[in-house]
Amino acid sequence: MIARLRADSRTLPILTLIVIVFGIIAAGNPTFAQAGTYAAIFAIAAIGLSLLMGNVNQISLGQAGFFGIGAYAVASLTTNWNLPAWLSWPLATLIGIVVATLVGLGLGFIALRFRGHYLAMATLAFGLICVGIFHETKFLGGAIGIEDIPYPRFGPLTISGYPAYWFAWILALGAALLTLNLLRGRSGRAFEAIRNDELAAEVLGVPTRRYKIFAFAYAGALAGLGGSIYAAFLGIVVPDAVSVPLSISLLLMVVLGGSGGVSGALIGAALIGFLDISGHQFENTREVAYGLLVIIVVIMAPGGAFGIIRSRFKASSAAALPTCHPELVEGQPQSHPTTATPRTITMPDTSAAPLAVSHVTKRFGGLLAVNDVSFELTRGTLTSLIGPNGAGKTTLFNAISGIGRVSEGRVEIAGVDVTGLQPHRIAALGVGRTFQNARLFGEMTVLENVVAGAFRTERTSFAADLFALPSSRRSEREATERARETLARLGLESLASTLARDLAFGDRRRVELARATASDPWLLLVDEPAAGLNASERAALTADLLKLRDAGMTLLLIEHDMRLVMSISERVMVLKFGTMIADGKADAVRNDPGVVAAYLGTAG
């Protein structure tokens, strides 16, 4: 993630210089100036689509609809209002952006119900609906559209022809800078977590649905801005100009340039914008050429043009930390204050049990996975939940953490009824969770994974990230320091710059534990952390769990390693076919006939 952002940060000034040089050259060439202006206009819309596709894994074939909203807002309002020239276009543009944003919020909410090709079809339908509305609305000019749209004017300067080149690129580069700010902040880390593993992100406290909706709204706002400039520059808007082919062109720009960053969108838009204007003599073969170009890029350079550029920075950025906290040089951790012991865990001021499960039942159709289970945990203790494979242990964990809704019963955390709440709302109460199969964010470094684990402790906003306000940068610094302390506590500092996908199995388990505890949860659900570990790794894990308990954390552990369970557990509960068959001290449970029979069977 940081490697990509660093490459983006280094590439953007270079692209800015190219824009300036090209603009100087285009001063005497109207065709070049026009091509450059179109490139800037489409780049603004492509930046939003790049974020949507590359950072949130959401595809949209309806961006032309948002583009059209912005264009028609400017076209209809500037031709019907009798406002001063300096006010008419900015006000109409603002209205267009607001409407596009609101429509984006609505589309984002609808898109939550779809995935994959169904999402593509839904967004395509949105684009078609917009074209139909533009085509059939008399107020918007119907099929012939709106003509004689006035150029923006600011004092003696009219934004048309050559000046429009500079005007459009100032706005395009401004949009790129704002988007880069967004990706550097807490919102960008949330987007990246969603892209890597949506379920793991939700359990860490990321409201994934909300951020997906934000992404659609932001992409819609940028497309609306692009449409506003387009209408003013061209002086005419017709429905066919903002229809499905435009959405395909924007998608083509993102694919060719590379998604997930701003530089790729700028490069792709410049390439397609220039070819569209300069290649009119090849009108009949242009679509074929574009199709072949996409096939070549997908096969030879899946990351697009920016992916090739990013590979140039790979060696220098592989060990990089967040730009505001660069404490690694050449991958080696530098000396800095750390804490060798966990931070003190503070539990809510209540006499209620950290976790109370009351008559919880979970059914999958006719299968009874958890059957009328009830228990309470005592604060500051380590309790183990054991049972044969298929006993319902992980299903119960899922019910507690909000991943699976219970069929019957009630779950309370510190006296708060969380039955049916979404995982991120449960995490916000101070609950951490690891998974049976470690679900790390593979494309992020170990440090970035643990920083993501501190998500719920950060206090900033989408707007603060967008404008790089001090609260956003302060939040990033604090989250990074918290993550570094967590890694130091578990002796994982040397792995900070390693990509999670490259970790050994045992390290993956410990890093996931570090990520789950970065936000200092006072209740931690740990699912089979010792599975697949060797003796030394189990010893390190044991020490980690005891440190957390001694710091005041309440732990509920699922584990099959009976030696580990009996050595660290103050209480052991046993499930068999979803039913609690034993609950007590470790020694008593070890010798319980029902438990022995569950594990070893009975003589027949």
The pLDDT value recorded for residue 196 is 96
The pLDDT value recorded for residue 372 is 97
Q: Alpha-carbon distance 188 to 322, whole Å?
A: 12
The pLDDT value recorded for residue 349 is 74
Q: Alpha-carbon distance 523 to 400, whole Å?
A: 11
Q: Alpha-carbon distance 585 to 565, whole Å?
A: 11
Closest CA to 452 of 525, 515, 520, 526: 515
Structure-block tokens of residue 495: 């792995």
DSSP H or E stretch at residue 527: strand 523-527
Q: Which residue type occupies 199?
A: L
Main-chain phi, psi angles of 429, to 5 degrees: -80, -10
Q: Alpha-carbon distance 355 to 333, whole Å?
A: 38
Q: Alpha-carbon distance 161 to 233, whole Å?
A: 8
Closest CA to 38 of 261, 379, 279, 211: 279
The pLDDT value recorded for residue 225 is 98
The pLDDT value recorded for residue 178 is 97
Closest CA to 445 of 398, 480, 408, 419: 480
Closest CA to 325 of 448, 205, 440, 176: 448
pTM score, two decimals?
0.90
458-471 CB burial, b ≥16 within 10 A, e <16: bebbbebbbebbeb
Helix, strand or coil, per DSSP, at residue 180: helix
The pLDDT value recorded for residue 571 is 96
Q: Which residue type occupies 414?
A: A
Residue ranges of domains in the chain, CATH in brackets? 2-317 (1.10.3470), 355-600 (3.40.50.300)
pLDDT along the chain (604 residues), means of 10: 86 96 94 93 97 94 97 95 88 97 97 92 96 94 94 90 96 97 96 96 97 97 98 96 94 92 93 74 69 82 83 56 39 39 68 95 94 96 94 95 94 96 96 95 96 94 94 94 94 94 93 96 95 90 93 94 93 96 93 83 56
